[in-house]
Chain A
Amino acid sequence: MGNPVLEILNLVCERDDRLLFSDLNYQFNVGDIVQLEGPNGAGKTTLLRILSGLFSSYEGRVLWKNELLTRNGALFQSELLFIGHKSAIKPSLSPLENLRYLMGLQQSFKESDLFMALEQVGLSGYEYVLCRNLSAGQQRRVSLARLYLSNARLWILDEIFTAIDKQGVAQLEKLLAKKANSGITIILTTHHELSMPNLRILSLNAASTIFECQTDNSEVTENE
């Protein structure tokens, strides 16, 4: 409602001689849950990395609170929670140690909060087991425990439901909906069908396939 947290203006991005999107315009408002949609290779991850400030070879502008994203990096980063499709979990550390480090980079917290968050994601009893002995889904859950602790106002989540079971996905959906209601902006990609009331979908149609790499026919549609 005229209160964009993040705004992209005329974004053009090209990778490996392929045009991912051109003239992309979008506004992410406070409390939005936006799901990026599109086939594999459509540039979902690239867009998330652009929005989180990790990737900067693009044309156009990304505004955070009406200022260029690149202007105030540290301030932006203190309000950002980014979980990439690489989960940043060290196999040689326990879930507790992993979570303590990842949270420690971002904000202050109480030690008891860590146990609580691990319990929320169903890892109580596994706090001291090395992550290399956990299943893929359980490792993913360690990084998702950050969602229960984070104070960040903008969440960028890349394929977070990978390897998570059905109940887990449902529980996460509830958490995301609740957080969005409290004013957190959530941008995510997933191939799960999400059943959330006020989900906005930004679909990136693969702008150009390998066969027509010179053409400029990207189309961005938005449906509420």
Chain B
Amino acid sequence: MNEPETRPSDVAAEELEDRRPSDPGVQPGPTEEGLAVATRSQRRMIVRRFLQHRLAVISLVILVLLIVGSLVGGRLWRYGYAEQLPEFNQSPSWGHPMGIDAIGRDLLAKVLRGAQRSVQVALLVALLSTTIGTIVGAVAGYYRGVLDAVLMRVTDLFLVVPQLAVFLLLARIVGGGWFQLSLIIAAFFWMPIARIVRAEFLSLRETEYVDAARALGAGDLRIILRHLIPNAIGSIIVNASIVVAVAILAETSLSYLGLGIAAPDTSLGLLVSEGQSAFETRPYLFYFPGLLIVLIALTVNFVGDGLRDAFDPKQSRARR
């Protein structure tokens, strides 16, 4: 890290007092270190620190390419995912880079479609569970007392319920669309976020700027939304990224068990499940979607890692 940017800027502030630009229109040039420091915003610092985490940046690029590729590629690729071709059981070739499966469908088209569905599910799960978790954790941590006790016991209850059994039950009841699947998964993914947000709030609510905001006449809702959540946003984002990775795996497992997304639609989990029956003879049917799952989960994790470092300056400095 570049030291002058991060240390308390008393020096910078004093420097500034001496160096009032004579012309207010003059932009701070590279030589005016003090001004350059003063204008650097928190957001840019975070972006800067994230960019220093090389693995996270590479992962982010790959992830974005995968997501955009699956969304756009599915439309552009010359075969549809449900399209029946005259050939079947073809090994990868130039015409069909991932081969053709036993009933004559182009595997690349299916993988693109599957990745799209899986990513869709994962992002929706992350959004829903982060929202639920943040609300529950914020209310519990801010109001404490009975409300906190009730909400946290509910959280505990959700944590101890055998999730797979409930997934199976719910999937049977609500059916197998990708949207329903996301709801089911999200219903069991918000608890860690609720706990983390609650812990953050318990400590943040004691800070003086919360008292100061209240002394200014701010109400509870405003304090929670405008003062506490922005200060906890680092851990919320980081945990949301972790949820994305775990949700992809959850979707995969459920679809693999035949309880998630059902044919003719497809997902990566479903493809793995379909491909494993021919694992001995045509392993590529299994490997391509499988590798994609690993790649997505891995890159999301690295991005989350990078985000955590970016939001926590102490950790990132210790590493370098």
A and B interact: no
Interface residues of A (CB under 8 A from B): none
Interface residues of B (CB under 8 A from A): none
